[in-house]
Amino acid sequence: MSLAAEAIITNVTLKPLIARTRPYVDIDGLRAVSWNIPIDYSFPSGHTGAWFAVASAMVMLAPKKFSVPAAVMAVLVGISRLYLGVHYPTDVLAGAAIGIITGIIASLVIKKIVIPAVEKRKEQGKNR
């Protein structure tokens, strides 16, 4: 749920709307260090947003043995997008923020709506 919301916000809505070119296009002498150089727009970072969307939902819902490695990976992905020269720092920060927000919202929906509905159905099944 968090990943789908993040993808719609970043890749479908904001990237085409803002249309920010990538740093390797704007900065003379900067080359992207990637085997698959992205050709779409830069802002916000979809990869970073995706990792933070999943990791933040996991932090709120999953045991620490799963959520901590996911959070570390989210940070590392953000750093890698800068290292590869395919994003500006603000692209990564915006992607992380969108991912965190969508992860929190999705986990709250799961806690407040999905889990109670599942528990209610289980209880109804026991009473039959």
Each residue's pLDDT, cut to its tens digit, for the chain (128 residues) gives: 999 999 999 999 999 999 999 888 888 888 777 667 778 899 999 999 999 999 999 999 999 999 999 999 999 999 999 988 899 999 999 999 999 999 999 999 999 988 888 888 888 877 76
- Furthest-apart CA pair in the chain: how many Å? 71
| pLDDT the model gives residue 30 | 80
| pLDDT the model gives residue 92 | 97
| C-alpha torsion angle, residues 13, 19, 23, 26 (rounded to 10) | 180
Residues designated as active site: 47, 87
Q: What is the DSSP letter of 19?
A: -
| pLDDT the model gives residue 117 | 85
Q: Which residues contact 90 (CB under 8 A, 6 or more apart)?
A: 43
Q: Is 127 left (phi over 0), alpha (psi -120 to 50) or beta?
A: alpha
Fold observed for domain 2-126: Vanadium-containing Chloroperoxidase; domain 1 (1.20.144)
